[in-house]
Amino acid sequence: MADSQGPATTRRRLRSELRRLRDQKGLHQSEVVQKLDWSLSKLIRIENGSVGISVTDVRALLGVYKASEDVVDDLVALARSARERRWWSRYRDILSPSYQEFIGFEADASRLRQFHPTIIPGLLQTEAYVRALVPAMMLTPLSESSYESLVEVRLRRQAEILGGDSAPDFTAVIDEAALRRLVGTVEAMRAQLAHLVEMQTRDGISIAVLPFSAGPHIGMQGAFHLMEFADDADENIVYLETAPASPVSVTLREEPELFTQYSKQLDRMLGMSLRDQAAVDYLGKIAKELG
């Protein structure tokens, strides 16, 4: 986890505070935009997070809400922080806004839990696996330089999230189908499975294998990511993976009840999975059977 909250988390906190202040004043969105001579769509996009917000616009809104000087100072500071560039900003031409937001929340999380039915989780992929996977996941071909950039992003994510001094607790449940699907050569896939075994030995990382014999489960509908944050001001979130238009296509869901439901289902799936030495042994078994 980053030492300070990044722009994705800061932006979410800012828009939440702006909505709260508007509700506190009992103002409808249409009343606010009339006072500021804005379009209604502008305020809607600001409050739902689909666009950023400038310091000038923050001050304008806080003027309408008659916020105290301390609140103005705090939210202006948030607005400035939300516009800071992070390492993935240099790749914004090839990364969708949703993927950039995903990386931002991932970088700020204190705990990451996820399930993958068909693909080794991105944070656990070897470079050979990434290079074989990325072109196959695109709806339309990209330039070689774009492919190279996407590989760089994946590897940088791994280094920043799991290789940092403040790495989050990380739990991955991987379906047997993802472990048996050949991505790249047999040798590369065996190296990938060996990498999972090695990662399992690291502090704070837990890898579970959900075997075919476990039967049906909620994860058969698709991959999902649960992200938790240390600060109570930041609500936990669910990301659902969708049919890809890029190597990672994700949909953010911020409903607390949905997070709780998926969290309970993941706990259930963990109970159906092979863990610790049993997972290591099964990974070895699959590696021997490849090819």
**pLDDT tier for residue 1 given thresholds of 50, 70 and 90:** very low
Any idea which of 167-181, 199-213, 231-245, 273-287 has the lowest mean pLDDT?
231-245
**141-150 long-range CB contacts below 8 Å, 24 or more apart?**
142/94, 146/94, 149/91, 149/94, 150/94, 150/246, 150/247
**Terminal alpha carbon distance of the chain:** 39
- Range list of β-strands (E), the chain: 111-116, 169-175, 205-210, 224-228, 237-241, 250-253
Instruction: Please check the confidence at residue 9 and state whether its pLDDT lies above 90.
Output: no
6 pLDDT band, cuts 50/70/90, is confident
pLDDT bin (cut points 50, 70, 90) of residue 263 is: very high
User: Which class is domain 91-289?
Assistant: alpha beta
Query: Which tens digits make up the pLDDT trace of 191-210?
Result: 999 999 999 999 999 999 99
| pLDDT interval class at 211 (50, 70, 90) | very high
CA distance 188 to 160: 24
Listed in order, the ranges of the chain carrying CATH 3.30.870 are: 91-289
Q: Check pLDDT > 70 for residue 247.
A: no
Greatest alpha-carbon pair distance for the chain in Å reads 69
Considering only CA atoms, which of 268, 266, 273 is closest in space to residue 111? 266
> Residue 254 — pLDDT band, cuts 50, 70, 90?
confident
Bridge partner list, 170:
112, 205
The confidence score (pLDDT) of residue 28 equals 95
Helix (H, G, I), strand (E, B) or coil at 237: strand
Instruction: Name the residue type at position 217.
Output: H
Give residues with Cβ within 8 angstroms of 42, minimum separation 6.
33, 51
pLDDT tens digits along 164-185: 778 999 999 999 999 999 999 9
Q: Which of 228, 207, 226, 210 is nearest to 264 (CA)?
A: 226
Sequential DSSP letters for 37-71: T--HHHHHHHHHTSS---HHHHHHHHHHTT--HHH
Task: Express as a percent the part of the chain with pLDDT over 70.
Answer: 96
What pLDDT is stored for residue 3 in this prediction?
A: 43
Position 2 confidence tier, pLDDT thresholds 50, 70, 90: very low
Q: Does domain 7-82 have CATH number 3.40.50.11540?
A: no
Determine which of 61-65, 77-81, 189-193, 198-202 has the lowest per-residue pLDDT on average: 77-81
* Rounded Cα distance, 132 and 142, in Å: 14
Q: Structure tokens of 39?
A: 């379009």
Instruction: Give pLDDT, residue 97.
Output: 84
pLDDT of amino acid 244: 58
**CATH code 1.10.260.40 region(s) in the chain:** 7-82
